[in-house]
Amino acid sequence: MKKIFSKKRICFIEIMILLIAIFAFSYMMASPDDRGVPASVYGILTAVSKFFKAWLERSRIGIVSAGCCERTKDNQVCKDVSQDDCAIGYNPASCDNVAGCRQGCCINNNEGLCMINTLNRSCSSLWKDDASCNVVECRKGCCSLPFFDSSWYMTDKRCEKLSAFYGVNKNFMMMNETECIDKQKNQEEGACVYQLRGETLCKLTTKDACLSITNNIYSFHNSTLCSNAELNT
């Protein structure tokens, strides 16, 4: 937004200069006697006109010479600089309009990974024109990995990759990160105390599994074994 505002301000100033230059140029073409003004005023107007003319010329040159450079002399990639500061791949257009220098989402379909704000030219996999990676392939959910006895926030493809690597069945559910963290907390192991046929029994399991049996948060005792005498089971 700052860049757009700066360009608008420059355009406005240049338009004002062009309007003023019209009158200044008229004064330059005529003699002091023709305009009916003193020679001193004529000299001032001439000097002002020359200043505006020089400033406008320098602005025009600066605008024309600025372009997109694939690699600058100080090793920056895809920067808007003058041609003199560019080492490799100069394009007179802005980097926002150069395909290889646009920032988007780089998707590694094999690993199920998404990298935000990636230059098109530096992405060796699938590239999409969305710098924040708000695309279908990058939607995340909760992946349960029994090997770690926990849940992780990742893409469906990443969950499939890791599940196959550890030799477990994929258990993926679409949800937001907060819900996934809560689910992970519910996978903490402990003693689950429950009633069955009038007896008080205990089972070592996860908090989530215990709640599915008793539907009572107080029936789960985190990091506690069923042999604990305080449970009285």
Residue tagged 């490799």 (tokens): 88
- What was the pLDDT predicted at 222? 84
**C-beta separation of 21 from 49 below 8 A:** yes
Task: Enter the pTM of the model.
Answer: 0.51
**C-beta separation of 72 from 79 below 8 A:** yes
DSSP secondary structure of the chain: -HHHHHHHHHHHHHHHHHHHHHHHHHHHHS-HHHHT--HHHHHHHHHHHHHHHHHHHHHHHHHHHEEEEEEETT--EEEEEEGGGEEEEEESS-GGG-GGG-EEEEEETTTTEEEEEEEGGG-SSEEES-TT--SGGG-EEEEEETTTTEEEEEEHHHHHHHHHHHT----EE---HHHHHHHHHTT-EEEEEEEETTEEEEEEEEHHHHHHHH--GGGEEET--TT-GGG--
Can you list the pairs that 219-225 forms with residues at least 24 positions away whose Cβ atoms lie under 8 Å?
219/192, 219/193, 219/194, 220/190, 220/191, 220/192, 220/193, 221/190, 221/191, 221/192, 221/193, 222/188, 222/189, 222/190, 223/188, 223/189, 223/190, 224/190, 224/191, 225/191
- What was the pLDDT predicted at 189? 82
- What was the pLDDT predicted at 62? 45
- What was the pLDDT predicted at 5? 47
Domain boundaries, the chain: 2-65, 67-136, 139-185, 189-231
Q: pLDDT by residue for the chain (233 residues), tens digit each?
A: 444 545 666 666 777 777 666 655 555 555 555 555 555 555 666 666 666 666 555 555 444 457 899 889 998 888 899 888 999 889 998 888 888 888 999 999 999 999 999 998 889 889 999 999 999 999 999 998 766 557 789 999 999 999 998 888 888 999 998 888 877 766 778 899 999 888 899 999 888 788 888 888 889 898 889 999 889 88
